[in-house]
Amino acid sequence: MTPIDFPNNDHYYLALAEEAFSAGDYLRALENYKYAYQENPTPKLNHLIAGLALEQGDFSAALEYAEEESESYLDTPETIDLFLQIQVYSQNFFAAREFLWRSQKVKILTEEQTDLWLMRINDQEAFYERQQQAVIKELEAELNQLPSMSAVDQLLFVRKIRQLPEERLKTIAEKFMMTPQIVPLVRSYLFESLARIGVTEKVHYLTIQDEIAELSPIDSGFDDSLQSGIETRLNDYLGDNNPILLANLLEQVKVEMAFLYPLHTAFMKPDAWTASYLAEYSEWSGPLDEEVEAIRGRIKQLLFDYH
């Protein structure tokens, strides 16, 4: 069916969809709901399409729409259930655990509802693991090649770890977070992956300074106060005088802050960081902080390795 171009197309398609739905023609209803969404995308219509697609067994469409408006699914117990159903049916168990952890933070589900969902995810994941043993072992074998890959290839390939069942993911992540051949940004990604699924147990983590830290993933969420402080100070100094340099430095700050995760709070010296950037790229002069200079030197060395 080719969309018709005239005002209030969304109302037209909604009328067609409701008519088809009443007649039991759910596929035609779904098609027209999608057309209406193209004209006027709303969270409510997104949820309707995702739910109907799920009922029709079109998991890919359900997943596409749900992930487009994922934040809106945290609004009610019903939409949380719908989003989790879609992830579980799509065998996206990492995404399901991550979303369930996020739902706990907004405290919409009861503790009993959360426990029931966790049990369901565990059961479905265990079933998937039994059915896909060969596939999972092959993926693990590929991931075990990470230390021998280049920095760029590690960054690209490590994302596959989220396809593993939780326990296998935790085992590999904990091993590689202590492996010197794994580059810091990949170690950060592994740590963040544990944080996203609500891992509470402390893990050992090899820092950018080659020291061993013991951290709880869920207690080490990203704190952007250092980055915000640096950005504010750079904007005050360069905003009116050199906006091009400011834009370039703000991008560089984002990259360097990524290297600090999850230990960014240990370097909470926004004035010293700002001074370091200005001394390097402008005519600013003044005393520099030895600790910040040392960590920035280490980051520059690591960035060179990525090229």
Query: Which top CATH class is 133-219?
Result: alpha beta
Which pLDDT score is estimated for 64? 96
Nearest Cα neighbor of 166 from 221, 118, 114, 116 is 118
Could you report the average pLDDT of every consecutive run of 10 residues in the chain (307 residues)?
Answer: 58 91 92 93 96 94 95 95 97 96 91 95 96 95 95 93 95 97 94 93 93 90 85 92 92 91 89 94 87 93 77
- Using a pLDDT cut of 90, give the percent of the chain over it: 80
Which pLDDT score is estimated for 6? 47
Which pLDDT score is estimated for 118? 96
Measured from the Cβ of residue 123, the count of other Cβ atoms closer than 10 Å reads 11
Which pLDDT score is estimated for 282? 86
Which pLDDT score is estimated for 8? 66
Which pLDDT score is estimated for 62? 96
